Structure 1
Amino acid sequence: MVSQGTKPAAPAPDAPAVVERDRPGAGERVRDALESAWRPLALLVACFAAWWAVTAADLVEDYLVPSPGATFSLLGDKWGYIWHHTWITTYETLLGFAIAVAVGVFAAVIMVYSLTVERTLYPILLFAQVIPKIAIAPLFVVWLGFGIGPKIVVAVLIAFFPVVISMVAGLKAVDPEMIELSATMGAGPWATFVKIRLPASLPHLFSGLKVAVTLAVTGAVVGEFVGANEGLGYVILQANGNLDTPMLFAGLLVMSAIGVVLFVLVEAAEKLLLPWHASRRGGAVTTTY
């Protein structure tokens, strides 16, 4: 028994101390965003400067590497033409990504809750993933024609694997004690999934989504390479055949911009839907030694 006058024992000198910090305000978040963005922006500017320097010094022929001025001038002159094909590729990417997410999450849930399905489906998914999509894309053109179908199928196939793997990893990463506790408190399988498994798996899922959305752009363009009369893949192929390197570079820049924008949108959705996860990464609670 501890007497009333006895003071509690002090923590050991080398014990970690948990320091609570207030959530960052709007100004601090903007400052943190600028702090994290200036390095990649500086690298991008350096790349464009090197590109300009190489072309200005005539180190390579214009038909091999066009100057930044020629490329951006073409973007301005033919913006309507490029915008039309950009929208086609973006539409194919978004539709393929949405289908990959829906099917991938559904497949992951079934695999986690059924060992038989996991042992049956997982090797097939791995086999399908290692097959080069550019090799089987012509089959989809033969089966589905030259419309939008083959492009969406290739985008789905490329984006599907990161979604299902990340979702399976997230669902399996749940603490078993939390599952047992929910069962002890009378929660059924559906309530356990909605209240415990699904929220715990979302950080893993969003990691896969950020990979999948960029791969979906690649899938859509690969489908356009095989057979299309619209889209950025078609623009790049036509420019390559005509040795129109400014148009080729313009198509590549726009395609890269689509991937970057979609990645940023998924990351913004992650911060919006998972504020607890974002605040933990931002250092809301730190441990000092």
Structure 2
Amino acid sequence: MSRSQKLNQPKPKKHSTGGPGVSKQTFTALCSLAVLILVLAAWEWIPVWLETPAYIWPVFSSVVEEGIRMWNTGNLLEHFGITALEVVIGFFLGALLGLFVGVVLGLSPTTESVLSPYILALQIAPKVAFAPLFVMWMGYTIYPKILVGILIVFFPIMINVLSAIRTVDPDMVNLVRTLNATRLQIFRLVEFPSSLPALFSGLRIGSTLAVIGVTVGELVGGNQGLGFLLVDSEGQGNTAGVFVAIIGLTIIGIVAYAGVVWAERRCLHYIPKITTTTA
């Protein structure tokens, strides 16, 4: 290659950063922190400027004070732990059920044709309608909340896994078959690994839906948990307490989602980042 051709070649693009000596990840984190500070500042000052009553829109400092009070006297940590436990159990069992049913339906089109109308009907039925029924069956325990969480987590994971199993490259399957692989080996070596990206996409969705399902169960028939704390604060006209419960539920959802992202990066580290879902 001549010197002129080398000079005319386009130079590789460099990743932009927030400034000299600042990595892209650090710049992104600083921007996110700045947005958070702006939101909290607006929460603190806008109700004062608008002269909004505290029972309608309490300032952020009042919510923090109420959170500290509930932590010291209202068993906030206990309610937080109960809801977190229900979310984890409901998410885990719902994910396992969705994975199992998705694999079974993906491998057997006949089974899918038989069961899909009933699975669709179960998904269409409002989950709120099941919560009172579960409470009547199992009382004011954690089990109705876990069941609602399982129901709401199950469908997105099942659909993602089913679609992934159906779209496995047939050439890869035929290649493994030429090596005299058994049906179980084909699933273990080709079909299941191919479904992992879709599975984790469903897990991301399910991690947030699990919080919604558990909260619905606690709102309908709970005597413990952040959902119960939310209803109790609403009954007392304690708007700051309602915000405390909402923030607690948000924290649980963020931690659950972050856990799925961490597991996805550990399991799918071999896939180029451009082909994976964004964090």
Q: TM-score normalized by structure 2? A: 0.86
SS in 2 for 1:61: coil
* Counterpart residue number, 2:37: 45
* Counterpart residue number, 1:126: 120
* Counterpart residue number, 2:90: 96
Please, which runs of 5 or more residues in structure 2 have no aligned partner? Answer: 1-21
RMSD: 2.2
Q: Do 2:107 and 2:165's aligned partners in 1 also have CA atoms closer than 8 Å?
A: no
Q: Do 2:70 and 2:76's aligned partners in 1 also have CA atoms closer than 8 Å?
A: yes
SS in 2 for 1:277: coil
Identity over the aligned pairs, expressed in percent?
A: 35
The amino acid that maps onto 2:151 is L
Q: TM-score normalized by structure 1? A: 0.83
**Is residue 111 of structure 2 the alignment partner of residue 114 of structure 1?**
no
When residues 37 and 175 of structure 1 are mapped into structure 2, their CA distance, relative to the original with a 3 A threshold, is farther
SS in 1 for 2:52: coil
**How far did 1:42 drift?**
3.5
**Counterpart selection for 1:66 from 58, 67, 70:** 58
Distance 1:256 1:85 in 2: 14
Q: How many residues align?
A: 257
Q: Do 1:97 and 1:159's aligned partners in 2 also have CA atoms closer than 8 Å?
A: yes
SS in 1 for 2:58: coil
Distance 1:38 1:192 in 2: 46
Distance 1:113 1:135 in 2: 32
Higher relative contact order (CA 8 A, sep 6+): 1
Q: Do 1:203 and 1:277's aligned partners in 2 also have CA atoms closer than 8 Å?
A: no
Post-superposition Cα deviations, 1:221-251, rounded to whole Å, max 9, x if no partner, equal: 1000111110000000001111101110010
Distance 2:226 2:114 in 1: 37
Distance 2:224 2:91 in 1: 19
**How far did 1:52 drift?**
1.4
**How far did 1:40 drift?**
4.0
SS in 2 for 1:135: helix
* Counterpart residue number, 2:169: 175
Post-superposition Cα deviations, 1:181-210, rounded to whole Å, max 9, x if no partner, equal: 111121111111111111111010000001
* Counterpart residue number, 1:8: none
**Is residue 75 of structure 2 the alignment partner of residue 85 of structure 1?**
no
When residues 125 and 42 of structure 1 are mapped into structure 2, their CA distance, relative to the original with a 3 A threshold, is farther
